[in-house]
Every structure is written in C-alpha cells, then in structure tokens.
Structure 1
Amino acid sequence: MPRRLPARSRLHFALTPVLAALACAALPAVAQTTSATEPAATATTTLEAVKVTARKREESLQDVPVAVTALTAEQLDKLAIKDLGDLQGQVPNLTIYAARGSNTTLTTFIRGVGQADPLWGVDPGVGIYFDDVYIARPQGALLDVFDVGRIEVLRGPQGTLYGKNTTAGAINITTNQPTFDFEGAAELTAGNLNYKQAKGAVSGPLSDTVAARIAVATTTRRGTIYNVTTKRWINEQDNLGLRGTLLFKPSEDLSVTLSGDYSKQDPEGFGTSFVRVGRTQRALSRQYDALVAAYNAANPTRPYAVPSRNIYDRLTDIDANLNAGNKIGGASLKVKWD
C-alpha cells in the first residue's frame, strides 16, 4: 500500500522549485546592481595636510613624534572659541578654565598635571607660548582668541624645546602673519548679559619687501552678581587686545618679523554671594550669627545684615576695590633664514 506524505512535506517540496527559480532570477539583478555601484566605491577623499610648529619648525602633524592636537583657524571658528577658556572640552586630556575668584587668571591642567591655585611666585606646570614667546604667569593669561591661525596643545613633558615650566605640556598659539596681498576680516558677536565682542584685522604690503598686519579685539559683558554697596554688577568682562606685526622679506630665504602686542583687562570683579552658615567646632558665642548679633548690639546705628540668604538673588555687599587692572604687553623679533 503506497505511503502518503504529510501535507507539510508536500508543501515544502512544492515550494522548493519555486524558491530556486526566484533565486536564479534574482542573481543577474544583484550582479547588475553591484557593477553599477563599483565606480562610486573607488572614489577617494584626500585630507589636507596639517602643518604644526610643535618642534620649533614647520612640519606635517603626522611626522611629529609628540602627542599634539592642532586646531586651525577654521576649526576655532566652528567651535566658537572666543578665549582660551573655551578650549575646555575640545582637546583630549586638557582642563583649562578661569581660576576661582577671577575671570582673567588661567588654570590649566594636561593629563591631570598643573597648578590648582595660580600664584605669582609659582611656576605653572603648563607653558603657554604666544608666537613662541613664553607667557610667564597665569594672571592675565585668559586671553581673547582673535586673528589666530592655529593653536597647538602638546601633551606630555616638553622641557627639551620649551623649558622647565612644561612638565605637563604646552599650549602654542600662532597668530596670522602679514601678507603681501591686501586682506581684512571683521567679526561682531552679541549675547545675553549685554555680551559684546568685536574683532578685526587688516593686512597688506607697504612695499615690495615689507608687509604689515594689525589686529584688535574688544570684549564686554555685564556682571553676574549685583553689589548693593557700590550699586554695580561685578564678575563682568572688560577686555581690550591690540597686536601689530611687521614683516621684512628681502628674499625667499630670509624673513624678519617684528611683533608687538598689548592687552588690558579691567573688569569689575570678583566676588561671591552669601549662601548659608556652617556650624563649626567653636563655642556658640563665636559662631557667625552670634558674632553679627554682638556687633549689632555694639553698633546700633550701623547694624549689619547680609543682603540676602537666597543664593538666586545674586547679591553681595563687598566694599573693596574689585577692578582687575591687568595690563600686559610685549615685543618680539624673529629672524628666519633657510
């Protein structure tokens, strides 16, 4: 007696030839699609070579045996880098910000090594170089970034080429140089708290062998805390930067560059608001509230009270002069002979 196959088996056998036919019919289409896309797969993208001066001479970034991050002028513009503090979060292993109680003093760490409390008499662990000129102290080093061609961040000790104050690394800022073709640029920026920044630069030839470049930047911003004593906002910004460069190039092998710069930072700063009182181990009579009560009892005509115990009021009552008064300037002469 003939054996019958299950219905599922008959269906399986019936579908197998159909699937095989569909697969064979689809093969030419796949082959045609692959051949049609082959020319697009062969297209290549060429990356522009990045030039750096990390080793005191211009060379390709790929040839430098140092951990370097280089930001070109286009990248600085896209990242909206307005001052050196804006490099925070843009460069690996770099921590850079305004020091506590200041918006003109720079605190910098590379790979966790740096100077936590910037002081005049202490050499920093990260060296900052402006057109190969060393900025010796962090006070006033939170400079505006304007007319800059490239910023290089070198990670790791750089004492061989940059000196003793580069235990953690160095930040090398290279400005745009004079050109023998007329060019100029200007930029205006506005923001909240009456933030205003203007930048401008112009360059061109003075003769066949001499070219000059002038750049200027100014930044102002209203403060973030109101001082009820002076009736002024504090923790503001008030910066002015000027730079002039003169290039003498008698031949292709010789160039002499004379540069001068001036920076003035005179914001009304820097203060904090009252938050709360923390109990200490001293006697109750020497706690803050008790001391204030004793003062008010002794001076009933001039009692004291904090302007606010709500931190979000952003009030303070400092009666001291808070202007920064930073003025930094310098000049350099560079001779290059190939």
Structure 2
Amino acid sequence: MKEETRKMTTPGDKRDSGDQDCKSRTAKRKASPEKTTPIKRRRVADQAGPSTSADVVKGVKRKVVQDEEGTTKKAKRAKLLDHMSGDKEQASSSLDSGKDLNNKQVCAKNGKRKATGDNREPPKKKKRNVDQGKKSVADQKREFQARYVEEHQLGEGGCGAVFAGYRIEDRFPVAIKHIPKNKVYCKVADESGKKLSVEVAIMLKLAGEAEGSVGISAPVSLLEWFDLGKELILVLERPVPAVDLQKYKAENGRTLPEDKAKVILKQLVDAVKELEDKHIFHRDIKGENILIETGSDVPRVRIIDFGLSCFV
C-alpha cells in the first residue's frame, strides 16, 4: 500500500505540501513571544528634542555659547558706533545746539580727507605789490635788488628817468622807471583812502582787467612796483626790438610811406579808444611816448608813460 501511495503522488502534490510547510513556519514565528519586530531608526532632525540628559547638557552649553557670541557681537557693534560718533560730550553739545550729528561726522571725514591730501585744491599764486604799504622800505629795496638788474638809461622826462634792465630769474627785458615823490603830480585815493600815484593806479587797473597781457595789449604792462620812501620804482615791460616814433621816422627817411602810416595810425586810434572805454585818458600822446615794435614786417604800436594820465 505504501508503494502504491508513493507512486500515486505527483510533483504538484509535492509543491503543495512545501507551501503548507512555509506557511506553518511563518505562523509559528509570529506566534513566538521571544522575537519582536525591529524598530526603525529615526533621524536626529525627526526627534522632537534631546532624549538623554547628555543631550540636554549639550543643548544648554550650545545656547550659552550662542548667547556669549551674541553679547560679544553687540559689544563690538556698540564700540564701533561709539568710535564713529566721537566723544559723548561733543555729541551732546551738538544735540543741544540743534546740529545734526551726521553732519558733524561728514565734516570730520572731509577734514581728514583734506589732511591726507585728497581733493586738495591747487595753491593760488601770490600776487605781488597788492599793498606795498604793509612792507618796509628796506624789504622792498631788497626785493627789487634781488629780482632785477638795472643797466643804461633809456630816457628822462618831467616825471622821472627810465633805465633798461632785465629780470634775473629769466633775463626778461624790462624798463625800470624811477619817479621821485616830489614829481608825482597826479594822485588818486585807493580803497583804503590812501593817496596813490595815478600812474600806478592806472597801470594796476590795466593789468587787473587784462591779466597776462604782457606783449599783447597796446599799453605796456606793469610787472611790479616798489615804494622806497623818497621815490617810486615801476618795473615795466620793455618791447625788444623797438624804437619810439620819432626815431622810427628818422630811420625811414623822415617821411613814412602811406601804407605804413595808415597801419600805425589805425593801431593808435584803436588803442586810445580802448583806453577811453576803460575810462582812462592818457593826455600825453606824442612821438616819444609811442613805441614801434620792429621785429616783424608790420610795425606794431605800444603806448608808454602814463605819468600825466587820469580817470574820466
């Protein structure tokens, strides 16, 4: 009977019996009280808080460190603000006076910038002879001798004598006019009410209205002047080469051709008209006071000697 039963068993019957065995083993495993289902580990971020006393201590230490860092940062920030705002007394005084502290800080920054040389404006050139009354006679005499060399005499008139010379620093040719104080016939009051030679006043006015006019304007330019007590010294531009109108005529056969005469007369009229527009009257236009520059093919007129001139 056993052999018949073993023969009658098919492969499918074996598979069914194996499945039943697996199911029975699984059921036993679940029913066993000794084995438990393993607990899945959760991430630290998923935990609601520290699970142990050590974690609690770590959290407290971390908080203390954070508080100390925050306190340190606040202290540094307060120190920086105190440094920027400056002294407390200055701040309180500025508040009392109604001034804005920010404006004071800006001014302080600008002051530091100027002290370091930033945005520094170029130094202005010092004007000479603005007020010779503030200098002593000895100082002015030393300045004149240190700057100029006086040479031979060029001419002499009723108001003084004129000498040739040159400026030491660049050997620029000049005319040096000496005017004794007792021959200063015309005077005018300056802004302070002090009496000043009208020739000096007019030359200063021409120089002020046409700065840098040396060699350009018809009237010769005044470079400097010195008050030496008993006399005035005027340092004037000296055109080279040039001769006065009397000598120029003599060198050209005592009679000028019409074309040259027209050029000279036109320049002379224009110069006198320009002086009139500036309210200046020369009052002594003559051959000796008209220079003719001869350095080019076309003669050029220059006017000198304003000793008798006046304002109109």
Q: TM-score range by the shorter chain?
A: under 0.3
Give 1 or 2: higher strand fraction.
1
Larger radius of gyration: 2
What's the TM-score once normalised by structure 1's chain length?
0.23
What's the TM-score once normalised by structure 2's chain length?
0.24
